[in-house]
Amino acid sequence: METKTLDAGAIRTSKDAAPTTGGVSKQKARMSRLMVSPSVLLLLLWMVVPLSMTIYFSLIRYNLLYPGENEFVGLENFHFFVTDLGFMAGMTNTLLLVGSVLLITVVFGVLISLLVNLAFWGQGIVRVLLISPFFIMPTVNALVWKNLLLHPVSGVFAAIWQFFGAQPIDWFSEFPLFSIIMIVSWQWLPFAILLLMTALQSLDQEQQEAARLDGAGPWALFWHLTLPHLARPIAVVVMIETIFLLSLFAEIFTTTGGGPGYETTNLAYLIYSQALLQFDVGLASAGGLIAVILANIAAFFLVRVVGKSLTEKQ
Amino acid sequence: MADLTIKNLKKSFGDLEILKGINLNIKDHEFVVFVGPSGCGKSTLLRSIAGLEEVTSGHIYLDDREITELAPAKRDLAMVFQSYALYPHMSVRKNMSFALELAKESKETINSKVAEAARILELEPLLDRKPKELSGGQRQRVAIGRSIVRQPKVFLFDEPLSNLDAALRVQMRLELARLHHDLKATMIYVTHDQVEAMTLANKVVVLNQGQIEQVGSPMELYHSPANRFVAGFLGMPKMSFLPATVVSSDHQGTRIQLADGATLALPVNGATLHKNSQVTLGVRPENIHVSDPSESDFTGRLDIAENLGSDTYCYVKTSSNETLTVRTPGNFTCNFGQQIGLSLELDQCHLFDDQDQALPRLERIAA
Ligand SMILES: Nc1ncnc2c1ncn2[C@@H]1O[C@H](COP(=O)(O)OP(=O)(O)O)[C@@H](O)[C@H]1O
Ligand SMILES: [Mg+2]
């Protein structure tokens, strides 16, 4: 309604005196700024309040076990967090986890979506089955793997090992990080498949035919046409998965609890254990801020490397 | 040398037979155009020649070599697609050198061949661009360049100009004709546009529902169509058809009666016709003239006139309610609904029997 009246006004003024149109469009811009301001303000509050509180907490002593002793301690919390034994482990594990899951989901995602893209009987059902793990809640997923698949006594894997006469493996104590990577990859592979499969369907058929006439075999077709075509969806997969995997928590919490030792503790889990297991809110806030900074560094590089291929026109 | 021979080629998709036995001979250096209405199987035939479709039965020979079962890349053919099908992630140069690189040719050979193709097609300033940075006409040229570098025996084009605007289409048409002349190549060209067919071809192949209706030079097809389909397909505006019955006929001529009662004596060999059998008279717009109603073959009522400047096409309803298209000079003026007289150039008319096959004209036999 508002804009309509303004439009009518614009027409009238431009008829009377042409130069005033600039003023009208400025007025319009002010109007639209006014209209979006509530949501911008809300978003700002949403972000600024928790952030400033976290910064404040990170600079004071704030342990729930010792109430009342909230004096300013400067960067001591940061110092503690960074020099904590768990910090290096948490960093390495975070990177290992994110890196391996990305690698597994992208490589297998490409291979599986190529396979599923071939025409075969029952294609629809297979596709749905492939996508379905994505709809399972992370906690449920972790519990299923922990109790039904990887359990050293009653798990499916143990049964298979026993069938071949081998000693069943206690996955979470012998290969804890690998087990987590396996679980998380299983959870995220469908996401990669979904995106890549959709992208494959838009692969131009005539380009493939032209390449076949040019003498390209299956490998050359994949390397020169399919893979470049998938660059963009792969970038999306990497970007989104990185964002979610950096803060991976539920799967670790449900299965290993960060152990044994610090072997499966990532940054998110470290912050949790500082805050709620040791009741040190100040330390946890400092950790949280460090995590935010690290995530921003990661995001910066992602946007530089990955985002470039996204914004490029195709 | 590049002689392409197609013997009894059939192609079905499932139960549906798309190509119903194609026999065709294409000679070296010929520019052959496949024309036909949409869906008649032109692309399927071209793709079968290229090896992109497996044929159901029949044989294709290139020179003395049978290529029916050969992989597309081994056939010595190059194809230009309607969508151009350029590789979007490669530069123009890479698009053109791709086939040569796959064939493991030396760097110098590749560079010189690409440079030569770029020179012919005036693509030199564009070599480092990506396809998305090119205009439609430039993309078209790159697609042609991609096939030129391979120096194939036969070039295949599938409606290469249909994505271009009208002005560019005319220009590219001329360039293709020049290219054919310069490269001395054998070209097979698919189109549904009869202007392209008439202007480019040495030999036109008219296809209809998976069968060849007629093969010949553009003028042969225009002046002596073998049947009613070819007669109606070629020519703009279309030939007009009038149903008629035979009054008398022999090998000296045929006398027919039109639905509105007029009788005409045509110099057409009617030896195969019987009295009272149904025939169709075909007349092109340029073979009908407006004349004084009192001394004309028959009369009609003017329906619509389209003035194109150089010509005016009049659509005339006869008294038995058939529509005739008449070409008149550009300065012809006439009012809607006016009665006009029409005369036919009888020696230019076509007569089709009840099977829609053309009857031989007499002067051709005499000549
Ligand atoms: N891959 C295919 N599967 C099934 N039918 C097809 C296929 N390709 C073409 N056809 C059918 O074959 C017929 C001829 O197609 P086409 O050769 O492309 O015609 P056009 O003469 O317009 O180029 C059409 O009816 C089309 O539907
Ligand atoms: Mg086609």
**Structure confidence by residue, pLDDT tens digits, B6-30:** 999 999 999 999 999 999 999 999 9
pLDDT score, position A22:
56
Does one domain contain both B62 and B206?
yes
C-alpha B44 to ligand 2 mean position (Å): 7
Please state the domain extents for chain A: 13-59, 76-313
The total number of structural domains that make up chain B: 2
Question: Quick one: pLDDT band at residue B52, thresholds 50, 70, 90?
Answer: very high
Does one domain contain both B194 and B306?
no
Q: Which protein residues have their CB within 5 A of the ion that is ligand 2? A: B 43
Closest CA to A275 of A256, A295, A249: A249
Which of chain B's residues have a Cβ under 8 Å away from the Cβ of A209? Answer: 52, 72, 79, 81, 85
Contact status of A6 with chain B (Cβ, < 8 Å): no
The verdict on the CB of residue B138 being under 6 Å from ligand 1 is: no
Q: When comparing pLDDT for A265 and A312, which is higher? A: A265
Is the confidence at residue A169, as pLDDT, over 90?
no
Considering only CB atoms, A213 lies closest to which of B73, B82, B90, namely: B73
pLDDT score, position B245:
93
**Structure confidence by residue, pLDDT tens digits, A171-190:** 777 888 888 899 899 989 99
Which of chain A's residues have a Cβ under 8 Å away from the Cβ of B132? Answer: 313-314
Cβ of B102 within 8 Å of Cβ of A220? The answer is yes
- ipTM, two decimals, is 0.83
Does one domain contain both B118 and B212?
yes
Does residue B317 lie in a domain region? yes
Last residue of a domain, one of B200, B232, B264: B232
Does one domain contain both B71 and B220?
yes
Kindly state the tokens that stand for A37. 């301001």
Is the confidence at residue A251, as pLDDT, over 90?
no
pLDDT score, position A123:
82
Ligand 1 atom at minimal distance to the Cα of residue B13: 4
Does one domain contain both B258 and B211?
no
* pTM, entire model: 0.79
Contact status of B98 with chain A (Cβ, < 8 Å): yes
Does residue B302 lie in a domain region? yes
Does one domain contain both B197 and B290?
no
Last residue of a domain, one of B232, B262, B296: B232
CA pair distance B242, B231, nearest whole angstrom:
13
C-alpha B92 to ligand 2 mean position (Å): 26
Is residue B33 within 8 Å of residue B215, measured between CB atoms? no
Question: Quick one: pLDDT band at residue B194, thresholds 50, 70, 90?
Answer: confident
Q: What is the mean pLDDT of residues B330-349?
A: 87
Contact status of B52 with chain A (Cβ, < 8 Å): yes
Q: What is the mean pLDDT of residues B35-57?
A: 93
Which of chain A's residues have a Cβ under 8 Å away from the Cβ of B146? Answer: 210, 214
Query: What CATH number corresponds to the domain at position B244?
Result: 2.40.50.140
pLDDT score, position B33:
95
C-alpha B16 to ligand 1 mean position (Å): 10
Q: What is the mean pLDDT of residues A129-152?
A: 84
Q: What is the SS3 string spanning chain B?
A: CCCEEEEEEEEEECCEEEEEEEEEEECCCCEEEEECCCCCCHHHHHHHHHCCCCCCEEEEEECCEECCCCCHHHHCEEEECCCCCCCCCCCHHHHHHHHHHHCCCCHHHHHHHHHHHHHHCCCHHHCCCCHHHCCHHHHHHHHHHHHHCCCCCEEEEECCCCCCCHHHHHHHHHHHHHHHHHHCCEEEEEECCHHHHHHHCCEEEEEECCEEEEEECHHHHHHCCCEHHHHHHCCCCCCEEEEEEEEEEECCEEEEEECCCCEEEECECCCCCCCCCEEEEEECHHHEEEECHHHCCEEEEEEEEEECCCEEEEEEEECCCCEEEEEEECCCCCCCCCEEEEEECHHHCEEECCCCEECCEHHHHHC
Task: Work out the mean pLDDT of chain B and round it to a whole number.
Answer: 90
Range in A42-56, A145-159, A208-222, B29-43 with the lowest mean pLDDT: A145-159
Tell me which residues of chain B, numbers 128 to 157, contact chain A at a CB-CB cutoff of 8 Å. 132, 146, 150
CA pair distance B177, B198, nearest whole angstrom:
12
Task: Work out the mean pLDDT of chain A and round it to a whole number.
Answer: 81
For domain A76-313, give the CATH number. 1.10.3720.10
Query: What residue has token string 């949280």?
Result: A288
What is the signed CA dihedral for A241, A244, A247, A249, rounded to 10 degrees?
-100
Specify the length of chain B in residues: 367
**Structure confidence by residue, pLDDT tens digits, A99-139:** 999 999 999 999 999 988 887 888 888 888 888 888 888 88
Minimal CA separation from B82 to chain A, in Å: 9
Tell me which residues of chain A, numbers 229 to 258, contact chain B at a CB-CB cutoff of 8 Å. 229, 231
The verdict on the CB of residue B47 being under 6 Å from ligand 1 is: no
Residue type, A120: F
Is the confidence at residue A15, as pLDDT, over 60?
no
Is the confidence at residue A23, as pLDDT, over 70?
no
Cβ of B73 within 8 Å of Cβ of A216? The answer is yes
Pairing status of strand B77-80 against strand B154-158: parallel
Cis amide linkage into residue A260, ω under 30° from 0: yes
Is the confidence at residue A282, as pLDDT, over 80?
yes
CA pair distance A129, A147, nearest whole angstrom:
21
CA pair distance B241, B258, nearest whole angstrom:
11
**Structure confidence by residue, pLDDT tens digits, A76-104:** 778 877 787 788 888 888 889 999 999 99
Contact status of B88 with chain A (Cβ, < 8 Å): yes
**Structure confidence by residue, pLDDT tens digits, A225-248:** 999 999 889 988 888 888 888 888
Cβ count within 10 A of residue B211 = 15
- Phi, psi angle pair for B170, to nearest 5°: -60, -45
Beta bridge partners of B305: B314
Cβ of A213 within 8 Å of Cβ of B83? The answer is no
C-alpha B240 to ligand 2 mean position (Å): 27
b/e code A207-245 from CB counts within 10 Å (16+ = b): bbbbbbbbbbeeebbeebbbeebbebbbbbbbbebbeeb
Last residue of a domain, one of B232, B267, B297: B232
Is the confidence at residue B365, as pLDDT, over 50?
no
Which of chain A's residues have a Cβ under 8 Å away from the Cβ of B150? Answer: 214
Closest CA to A244 of A142, A130, A98: A98
pLDDT score, position B191:
92
Kindly state the tokens that stand for A215. 């003498």
Is residue B285 within 8 Å of residue B329, measured between CB atoms? no
Q: What is the mean pLDDT of residues B116-137?
A: 90
Considering only CB atoms, A224 lies closest to which of B51, B81, B87, namely: B87
The verdict on the CB of residue B44 being under 6 Å from ligand 1 is: yes
What is the extent of the structural domain holding B261? 237-352
Q: When comparing pLDDT for B161 and A304, which is higher? A: B161
Question: Quick one: pLDDT band at residue A165, thresholds 50, 70, 90?
Answer: confident
Does one domain contain both B205 and B256?
no
Does one domain contain both B46 and B100?
yes
Considering only CB atoms, B103 lies closest to which of A207, A210, A215, namely: A215
Which of chain B's residues have a Cβ under 8 Å away from the Cβ of A223? Answer: none
**Structure confidence by residue, pLDDT tens digits, B208-250:** 999 999 999 999 999 999 999 999 999 888 999 999 999 988 8
